[in-house]
């Protein structure tokens, strides 16, 4: 089975598990844990921003799913399930 890698589709910057994204509600979390949904307010981020050039990224927005490499059909289903689970938890 191909290993799934997460990297910026524009510059190939790879986030580490300790990297955090900020939501407009002020919450910070690792966006790939929740497939782009803020666990605090439930906002679904269809696009994910790369980190700033100062830390090796390009700072540009890309569709969240484009960040996953070698994405098989089963994993796409898995991500959709994660989104539903997070949504249920937010309610």
* Footprint on this chain of Zn ion (rule: CB under 5 A): 8, 10-11, 13, 23, 25, 27, 38, 40-41, 43, 50, 57-58
User: In angstroms, rounded to a whole number, what is the distance separating the alpha carbons of residues 82 and 52?
Assistant: 27
User: In angstroms, rounded to a whole number, what is the distance separating the alpha carbons of residues 37 and 53?
Assistant: 24
Closer to Zn ion at the Cβ: 63 or 72? 63
**How near is the Cβ of 27 to Zn ion at its closest, in Å?**
5
Closer to Zn ion at the Cβ: 27 or 78? 27
DSSP track, 72-91: -HHHHHHHHHHHHHHHHHH-
**How near is the Cβ of 74 to Zn ion at its closest, in Å?**
27
């Amino acid at each position: 089975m191909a290993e799934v890698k997460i990297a910026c589709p524009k510059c190939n910057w790879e986030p580490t598990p300790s990297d955090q994204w900020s939501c407009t509600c002020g919450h910070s979390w690792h966006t790939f844990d929740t497939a782009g949904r803020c666990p605090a307010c439930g906002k679904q981020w269809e696009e994910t921003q790369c980190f700033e050039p100062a830390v090796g990224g390009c700072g540009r927005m890309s569709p969240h799913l484009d960040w996953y490499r070698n994405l098989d059909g089963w994993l796409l289903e898995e991500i959709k399930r994660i989104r539903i689970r997070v949504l249920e938890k937010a309610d």
